[in-house]
Amino acid sequence: MLTVERVQALQGREDLHSPWRELLARQAHRNLFLTPEWITTWWEHFSAGRDLWLLVVREGGRVIGLAPMTVTREFDGRMPARILGFMRNRHISRSDFIIPERRREVIRALVEFWREQARHWDVLRLEGVPAESDSLALAAEELAGCGLDPLPVRPRRTLDYLPVSEGWEDYLRSRSHRSRKNLRMGRKALERAGTVEYLHLTAPEEVRRTMEWLFDLEASSWKAGASGVAFDERDKRFHVALADRFAPLGGVENRFLRLNGRIVAALHSFVYDQVLYLLLTYYDPAYAELSPGRDLIHQTLNDCWQAGKLRAVDFNGTSPFIRHWTESTRPLGALSAHNRRLYSQVISSLKKAKRFLRGGLERPHAAAAPADPPLHGTAR
């Protein structure tokens, strides 16, 4: 018989870390954002306004499944609601259940637990699940069986990644002539501008010491926009704590491009399960005409190929700039459902009516002029 325990506080629950890592190591579709180190650090910094719903599925005393979830209070279609879902903000690009085997059985136990605890939530929202995972399809079937009124699984967004397979020269030849030309011209422009140095720091004390270099560059980066610095102090503390927690395990890297002694581009990345995750990339806008950020990524990818230890580079986002480097995308899906309480059913009915009306208005237009095939992602 399977039992589900709701863990309401992570502090003092290090006993879960070992089975957590063991389950994740056996899961086919695992990623950096499902590790206990990432989830624990994220919760320490972004738990305000959220109730923890880390669900632990056991058979006897053995942990066989985990669901890192929260309940937040926010609006769902203009109506205030308590949202039960995976942990999410801009620092977590995807999520999933951690269930390496007996997936339907474990998800059925989770759905039954959600139904029993329906008085504590109004809307179930599972977002950012990779399409190669069957989690949403299984959850939709089990939710319907319990009468929890799921809406159809829908595409949410895409993430770009680059498989590391062929040799470096073969990879470069696969890029467009224009991309290769821009890389050569950018490198020559940098070399004409002065002395170019590449720093690749992996030692824990070096990573910790140079995190502030990243944030200084971020403060003047184009990503900051007109409103000022994009990162607040909590964001900075989160990334420093992540680096501190992961660095002893290996795989945390800071890379910098220095021109005439000045840092003009920076890249903060993690290596997990033979995948390089590019988490933070910045360049100094005063040197934009030299394309230092593009050159630093070029150097990083070159190093990855030469090392021969990675199977993919994960860009952790999507943009036209990224598509200079890859055409491979990873679609993410989303699923929502409503419990049997009257308030939740009202929300569900309004959302269904909105979708019906929107579909009715769009149908004649689509018949008159077939839509272009969808693009992979949007510019950021």
Give the contacts of 373 (CB within 8 A, at least 6 positions apart).
Answer: none
Residue 376 lies in a domain: no
188, 273: one domain: yes
Whether residue 289 lies inside any domain: the answer is yes
pLDDT of 239: 96
Question: Are 291 and 145 contained in the same domain?
Answer: no
Residue 320 lies in a domain: no
13 lies in some domain: yes
Domain count for the chain, please give it.
2
CA distance 281 to 234: 18
Same domain, yes or no, for 58 and 41?
A: yes
Query: Domain of 149: which CATH number?
Result: 3.40.630.30
CA distance 280 to 174: 26
Same domain for 151 and 170: no
Spatial separation of the C-alpha atoms in residues 40 and 209, rounded to whole Å: 23
**Same domain assignment for residues 70 and 213:** no
The whole-angstrom distance between residue 276's C-alpha and the CA centroid of its chain comes to 13
pLDDT value of position 374: 30
Phi, psi of 37 (to 5 degrees): -65, -45
213 and 148 in one domain? no
Per-residue model confidence (pLDDT) at position 378: 29
Whether 264 and 184 share a structural domain = yes
Number of residues that this document lists for the chain: 380
Task: Copy the structure tokens of residue 259.
Answer: 């021109």
Virtual CA dihedral for 271, 273, 278, 279, nearest 10 degrees? -80
Token look-up 């020559």 returns 188
Do 7 and 153 lie in one domain? The reply is yes
How many whole angstroms separate alpha carbon 365 and alpha carbon 247? 54
The answer to whether residue 378 is domain-embedded is: no
Bridge-based pairing state of the strands 154-163 and 123-130: unpaired
Q: Is residue 149 a contact partner of residue 337, using CB atoms and an 8 Å limit?
A: yes
Q: Is residue 31 part of a domain?
A: yes
Q: What is the pLDDT along the chain (380 residues), one digit of tens a residue?
A: 999 999 999 988 888 999 999 999 999 999 999 999 999 999 999 999 999 999 999 999 999 999 999 999 998 777 889 999 999 999 999 999 999 999 999 999 999 999 999 999 999 999 999 999 999 999 999 999 988 889 899 998 999 999 998 789 999 999 999 999 999 999 999 999 999 999 999 999 999 999 999 999 988 876 655 445 578 899 999 999 999 999 888 889 999 999 999 999 999 999 999 999 999 999 999 999 999 999 999 999 999 998 888 999 999 998 888 988 999 999 999 999 988 666 666 766 776 777 667 665 444 333 333 332 332 232 22
Dist. CA 149–CA 15, nearest whole Å: 36
Q: Are 335 and 139 in contact (CB under 8 A)?
A: yes
Torsion, Cα of 203, 291, 190, 298 (10° steps): 50
- 324, part of any domain: no
pLDDT at res. 225: 59
Same domain, 270 and 349: no
**What is the predicted pLDDT for the residue at 224?**
57
**Do 139 and 105 lie in a common domain?**
yes
What is the C-alpha separation between 330 and 156, in angstroms, rounded? 11
Structure tokens at 343: 């308030």
For residue 191, how many C-alpha atoms fall within 13 Å in the half-sphere facing its CB? 6
At residue 79, the pLDDT reads 82
How confident is the model at residue 363, as a pLDDT?
41
Residues 265 and 216 in one domain: yes
List the domain range (segments joined by +) for residue 98. 2-157+332-368
Q: Are 8 and 144 in the same domain?
A: yes
> Distance between terminal CA atoms of the chain?
47
pTM value? Answer: 0.87
Is 296 inside a domain boundary? yes
Q: What pLDDT, on a 0 to 100 scale, did the predictor assign at position 370?
A: 32
